[in-house]
Each structure stands twice: as C-alpha cells, then as structure tokens.
C-alpha cells in the first residue's frame, strides 16, 4: 500500500507482511507491526512563520503610525506580515507513528486524508491480529 503519489518525492509508506516500510527524504525505517503502539494524526502550526509574521506586521504598523517609513511600503509590509502569520496559523497535518520505547516518526502528509484514514484502518486491522 503506497500512500504517496508515484511522482511525489516525499517518500513511501508500504505495509507488507509483518513490517511497515517507511522511506522519507532523509531516512528509511523498517518497523515490525507488533512494535508499533499507535498511528495517528497530529496538527502542527509553524511557530517560525507565526512569530515572523507577527513581528513584521506589528513593526510595520508602528512605522505606519509614527510615519517612519513610506505609508505605501508600510502597508505592503503589514499585508506581508499578516500573510506570513496566516500561513503559520494554518499549519499542516502530520502522521505520527509511535513505536518501540516511545520513539516517534513524524511524516508530513498531503491534504488527501481519506487514503491516510484508510491506511490507519488497515493498520489497526492488521495490528488486531498480533
């Protein structure tokens, strides 16, 4: 069961027999099914983009009010800061696999969550056998 698209460079998750094979951009994991404690979704917000957007928007707002920089430039920076803040607030879905002695593998997943829920259901079905 390959859950990534064929042209996707993110990696491969394959469940064959008693082993879950995970290949990401940086690492490769082969985990026996009986060692996996849980697979579930987590939602991560990017603190870096939140902080950068907040700082840029607020400093640009102060610059606009105090007339330190050109008002049009300041408005552009405010909009840019708000967009960065929104991008950080939006976050992204991650698939978290807990195995062994509370070791975690976190994989960024796309927005097509139906196949990921099918994967989790298939995993739970296979895990129930062990």
* Dihedral, CA of residue 95, residue 101, residue 103 and residue 109, to nearest 10: -10
The predicted model gives 50-57 an average pLDDT of 96
Output DSSP code: residue 122: H
Phi-psi region of 91 (alpha: psi -120 to 50; beta: other; left: phi over 0): left
Q: What is the pLDDT of residue 77?
A: 95
- Confidence category of residue 7, pLDDT binned at 50, 70, 90: very low
Q: Is the pLDDT of residue 110 over 80?
A: no
Q: What is the pTM assigned to this prediction?
A: 0.62
Helix (H, G, I), strand (E, B) or coil at 39: strand
| Distance (Å, whole) CA 31 – CA 43 | 23
Name the least confident of 47-51, 113-117, 118-122. 113-117
- For tokens 């009010």, the residue is 65
Cα 117 from chain centroid (whole Å): 16
Q: Is the pLDDT of residue 98 over 70?
A: yes
Answer yes or no: are the C-beta atoms of 82 and 53 closer than 8 Å: yes
> Higher pLDDT residue, 75 or 125?
75
Sequence-separated contacts (24+) of 4-13 with Cβ below 8 Å: 10/107, 10/108, 11/107, 13/107, 13/119
Q: What is the pLDDT of residue 9?
A: 54
């Amino acid at each position: 069961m390959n859950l990534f698209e064929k042209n996707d460079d993110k990696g491969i998750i394959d469940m064959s027999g008693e082993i879950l094979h995970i290949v990401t951009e940086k690492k490769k994991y082969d985990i026996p099914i009986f060692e996996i404690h849980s697979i579930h979704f987590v939602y991560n917000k990017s603190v870096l983009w939140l902080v950068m957007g907040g700082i840029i928007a607020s400093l640009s707002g102060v610059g606009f009010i105090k007339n330190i920089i050109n008002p049009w430039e300041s408005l552009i920076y405010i909009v840019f800061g708000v967009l960065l803040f929104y991008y950080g607030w939006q976050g992204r879905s991650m698939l978290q696999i807990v195995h062994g002695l509370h070791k975690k593998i976190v994989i960024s997943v796309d927005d097509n969550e139906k196949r990921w829920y099918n994967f989790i259901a298939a995993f739970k079905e296979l895990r129930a056998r062990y």
